[in-house]
Structure 1
Amino acid sequence: MKIAKEWLDFLREQYPAGSRIQLREIGSDPAPIPPGSMGTLDYIDDVGQFQISWDKGRSLALVIGADRFTVLPPEPALLKLYMPLTADFYPRDEWGDSSEEGERWDDRTLTEYEDQILGALVKNRMPEERERGLMHWYGEQDSLNAKVRSAEFTVEVRNRRLWGVAECRVIGELSSKELADLKDYISGQASDGWGEGFEQREIEVDGGELYVHLWQRDNWSIQTEQERFATKLAEGLPELCFSTLQTTGQLICIRRGESGYYPSEWETGDKERNVEEADRLNEKLGVTPAQRLAMEIGSMAGWDVPGADPKNYEIQRKEQMGGMTLD
């Protein structure tokens, strides 16, 4: 049986994977599932059948018209969109008067004022936004409006910086276009809508008043948690390498992308022999000295620092070789 693509698209949009299914009555089936059984929708196939994993361990499809069931929407998932923060601080003089010229504070300084800024964000929310937050003002009746149940501005400390965050509760998965549209909408609210009013609200802090900007013209972007904070590994790093601890001489192995190290099963109990063993094992794996140095730095200082890129050591080596002369 062929199903129109438009109908399939409508079903899949209305009933996303992860929706909970409650059976009321099943049609003709030699081993029926009892009424009232609960399951989870895996997907809707190309002939319109609801492919379901039932809580009691069975997998059995349901068909609209032949079977009677209720589709309960899945619980919204939390999607966080991160944006950099800045603020202007206006100090008060000894008479309590605010300065006419403000000081620009960056997101590292603002970490000390997380509670005050969060409190101001909450106070700035309007009664109309109680259920859907910023999505109350979204004017389109489209799939994004259907999937994003709410969105609210908050703040969060990550990597010793205070970030502005749009916490979005989403049903189902956003397509790449829907995510781009959501970012555009939140960006507009941060710059010209909700955020424009918020940055004019004074926040009382010790010694003066603070005005926080969710948006600024320079060096501003809005990104998902994965886009913003995922570890970016340099190219050319091996899966693992061997090294020795400078303090004890212990033979260790380092895994790409992981902090710290693991004791090696090839440990000899002798410092000098461990150094030789590390060289032998790395040579066997094809690990170059530059890669080993980069892996050592990455495991200690983080995989996004310049020292975790083997290319930097190769460049240094070429420069040193270029300065050598042969007699």
Structure 2
Amino acid sequence: MMPYREQIEQAAAEQAVDLLAYYDGPDEVREHLVSIIPSVAVQDGKLCGCTAITYRQDLSEHQWNALFRDIAGQYSDGWGEGFEQRDIEVDGGILNVHFWQPDGFEMIPIAVSSAERTVPERPRMELAGHDGNIFAILGRAAKLLRENGQNAASVEMRRRVTHCDNYYKALGIISEYVETELSVPRDLPPDPARRKKEKQHGGEAR
């Protein structure tokens, strides 16, 4: 699947939703979760389905297994069934991608603690030359983030922009994720509201 990585990444990003909205497991697990975002990632040279799980507090082994079962159910039925019905145009034809298989399906957790996590460098992008088309600007920024291995950031940026009611606010949001003429340097003190929100996110697993 690696030759079709870019097309699959784009399709997954465009159709990605927060699976926490559909979580049907124990409340004791839900209360620790912030978001469950599907995407794709390269693991050991192979293109794999990826789920970025942001949580406030770590789960027990029993709780993680319950969460994995719920995500597997979403991949085999709900979101995954909808995604596999999406036609992805590639050279030579149409591709349909399945996140779940009846045989050989396995979820491999890769934990990243908040202490170990580093902030990826923002890819650079000039706003000039897009003729004020916010959709062209958003599409270009999302593509740069995916190429930089920041799929979850691409999904989050798209979600925030699509719920924004102002062109200039949208440019400001995009400029938080990619380096533009409007970006605030990262060595400046962070916005207090955003810092408070980030402190509530205890970690992330993929």
So what's the TM-score if we normalise by structure 2? 0.51
Report how many residues are paired: 111
Residue 140 (structure 1) shift: 4.9
Pick the structure with greater CA Rg: 1
Residues in 1 aligned to 2:25 and 2:100: alpha-carbon distance in whole angstroms: 23
Which residue number in structure 2 is paired with residue 291 of structure 1?
Answer: none
1:136-181 CA-to-partner distances (Å, cap 9, x unmatched) read 1124561211111101111111211111111100111111111011
Q: 2:84 aligns with which of 199, 222, 225?
A: 199
Which residue number in structure 2 is paired with residue 95 of structure 1?
Answer: none
Q: 1:165 aligns with which of 9, 28, 50?
A: 50
Residues in 2 aligned to 1:148 and 1:117: alpha-carbon distance in whole angstroms: 27
- Please identify runs of 4+ aligned residues in structure 1 that moved more than 4 A: none
Which residue number in structure 2 is paired with residue 115 of structure 1?
Answer: 6
Asked if the contact 2:35–2:54 (Cα under 8 Å) also holds between the matched residues in 1, the reply is yes
Relative to structure 1, the CA distance from residue 209 to residue 170 in structure 2 (aligned partners, 3 Å threshold; closer, same or farther) is same
Q: 2:75 aligns with which of 185, 190, 200?
A: 190
| Higher normalized contact order (CA 8 Å, seq sep 6+, divided by chain length) | 2
Q: 1:212 aligns with which of 79, 85, 97?
A: 97
Relative to structure 1, the CA distance from residue 221 to residue 206 in structure 2 (aligned partners, 3 Å threshold; closer, same or farther) is same
Q: Which amino acid aligns with 1:135?
A: L
Larger strand share, 1 or 2:
1
Q: Secondary structure at the match of 2:96?
A: strand
Residue 214 (structure 1) shift: 0.2
Residues in 2 aligned to 1:156 and 1:205: alpha-carbon distance in whole angstroms: 18
Residues in 2 aligned to 1:139 and 1:222: alpha-carbon distance in whole angstroms: 18
Which residue number in structure 2 is paired with residue 145 of structure 1?
Answer: 30
CA RMSD of aligned residues (A): 1.5
2:26 is equivalent to residue 135 of structure 1: no
Residues in 1 aligned to 2:3 and 2:97: alpha-carbon distance in whole angstroms: 13
Q: Secondary structure at the match of 1:224?
A: coil
Residues in 2 aligned to 1:164 and 1:204: alpha-carbon distance in whole angstroms: 19
Residues in 2 aligned to 1:140 and 1:188: alpha-carbon distance in whole angstroms: 11
Larger helix share, 1 or 2:
2
Which residue number in structure 1 is paired with residue 183 of structure 2?
Answer: none
Q: Which runs of 5+ in 2 are unaligned?
A: 112-206
